[in-house]
Structure 1
Amino acid sequence: MQTEIKFAGFGGQGILLSAKLLAYAAMKQGFFVAWVPSYGPEMRGGTAYCTVVIASKKIGSPVIKNPTHLVAMNRPSLEKFTNDVKTDGVIFINSSLIPTRSNREDIVELVVPANDIAIKAGSVRAANIVALSAFAAKTGIVDLDLLKDCVKEEFAAKAKIIPLNMKAFDEGVNCARNN
């Protein structure tokens, strides 16, 4: 088994963090993992992306042209990467910022208003956690309790924002289950 996920959005949306959390949960679950972020001038405001490869055996190359899944947090990312996703993959669409769809019949679309849900949970900055948990719930790619623990660990130094992120996490899972 090998699964590749591309996380993409504007710099500052927590794209790299979401990917890191998924990679960390998969690693804790015993999988081989590669996490390849895109750094550069696009960090704030432009398109930022990160690829996570999760496999049951050693990974030959972390460089992926056609990922299994896509988590698109903004419209430019959906437009840029949607045609790269393999047949039967999942494309997560943040409908708070993306009014369009992938227009693909051969994939599963997970349409979630991540920003709106995060705002209701307490902060738009938690939209990446909403997206991550919804995507993980839809795909079953990692154990949700383990992923939730990884989120708690990530924010351990900022204990005041853990409840907000746990609420965002749970709302993302609920949205995916009802989608």
Structure 2
Amino acid sequence: MNEEIIIAGFGGQGVLSLGKIIAYSGIMEGKEVSWMPSYGPEMRGGTCNVTVIISDNKISSPVVQRVDTAVVLNQQALDKFEEEVKEGGTLIYDPNGITRHPERKDINIYKVDAARLAVELGNPKIYNMIIMGAILKARPILNDENVELGLKKSLPERHHKLIPLNMEAVKSGSKGVEQVHSI
């Protein structure tokens, strides 16, 4: 297995944290991983993205030209990364704030209304874990036990009490994701 993922959105959506949790979860599964964040000088509200590679083999470079999976959380990310998905790959998006929906016909497309689900669960901070659930439903590359271990590794110990809520968010995202286009 070799899965190249890019997650992109605004700062404050948990993009970088989600990438880190995916990377730690991959480590817990005994995989080789690479985590490479990219963000502008702005903090919250600025654009950011993270590239994560999970592989059974050594990773020669964290730089990718095209990805297997793109997760886009705003219109700017969709505009920039829709064309970066390999033919036959997967694009996952949150339709909240999207004005032009994905148009490609040679990739699998999923949507998850993560913003709405986070409100329904009563905590906007679990937005990124709802996205995690959508990713794992569309691309089952990690198992839930290792995601929980990845959370424990990446969250400060004082926040470990929130792990059950985060795992509930993963389940919510998995149930709430909808396939829009299949190849």
Q: Would the TM-score normalized by the shorter structure come out above 0.5?
A: yes
SS at 2:148's partner residue? helix
Change (3 A) 1:112 1:118: same
The aligned residue for residue 171 of structure 2 is 170
Percent sequence identity over aligned pairs: 36
**Aligned equivalents of 1:3, 1:151: Cα separation in 2:** 20
Superposition deviation, residue 152 in structure 1: 4.6
Question: Could you tell which deviates more after superposition, 47-56 or 99-108?
Answer: 99-108
The structure-2 alpha-carbon separation of the partners of 1:106 and 1:5, relative to structure 1 and needing over 3 Å to count, comes to same
How many Å apart are 1:159 and its aligned residue? Answer: 4.1
Task: Classify the secondary structure of the residue corresponding to 2:117.
Answer: helix
| 8 Å CA contact retained: 2:148, 2:163 | no
Contact 1:6-1:71 within 8 A present in 2 as well:
yes
Higher helix share: 1
* Deviation sequence 1:108-153 (CA, Å, 0-9, x none): 1110001110111111221111001211121011112321332255
Q: In 2, distance between residues paired with 1:94 and 1:46? A: 17
CA deviations on 1:65-95 (whole Å, 9 max, x unpaired) are 2111101111110111100110111111112
Which amino acid is 2:24 matched to? Y
- Equivalent position amino acid for 2:60 in 1: G
Cα distance in 1 between the residues matched to 2:65 and 2:32: 19
1:52 corresponds to which letter in structure 2? V
> Quick check: 2:40–2:46 contact (8 Å CA) kept in 1?
no
Structure 2 stretches of 5 or more lacking a match? none
Contact map agreement 1:152 1:162 (CA 8 A) in 2:
yes
Hey, what's the Cα distance between the residues in 2 that align with 1:57 and 1:120? 40
Residue of structure 2 in register with 1:114 after alignment: 114
Q: Tell me: CA distance 1:77–1:42, structure 2 relative to 1, closer, same or farther (3 Å).
A: farther
What is aligned with 1:134? 134
Kindly state the Cα deviation for residue 44 of structure 1 after the two structures are TM-superposed: 2.0
TM-score, normalization by structure 1? 0.91
* Aligned CA distance change for structure 1 residues 5 and 122 (closer, same or farther; 3 Å): same
Q: Distance in 1 between matches of 2:91 and 2:31?
A: 22
Secondary structure at the aligned position of 1:89 is classed as strand
The two structures have a TM-score, normalised by structure 2, of: 0.89
**Larger fraction in strand:** 2
Q: AA paired with 1:21?
A: I
Equivalent residue pairs, number = 178
CA distance in 1, matches of 2:164, 2:96: 22
The Cα RMSD (Å) is 1.7
Q: Which runs of 5+ in 1 are unaligned?
A: none
Equivalence for 1:84: 84
Equivalence for 2:24: 24
Equivalent-residue separation in structure 2 for 1:43 and 1:86 (angstroms):
30
Cα distance change, pair 99–113 in 1 and its aligned pair in 2 (3 A): farther
- Residue aligned with 1:140, SS: coil
Structure possessing the higher relative contact order (Cα contacts under 8 Å, 6 or more residues apart): 2
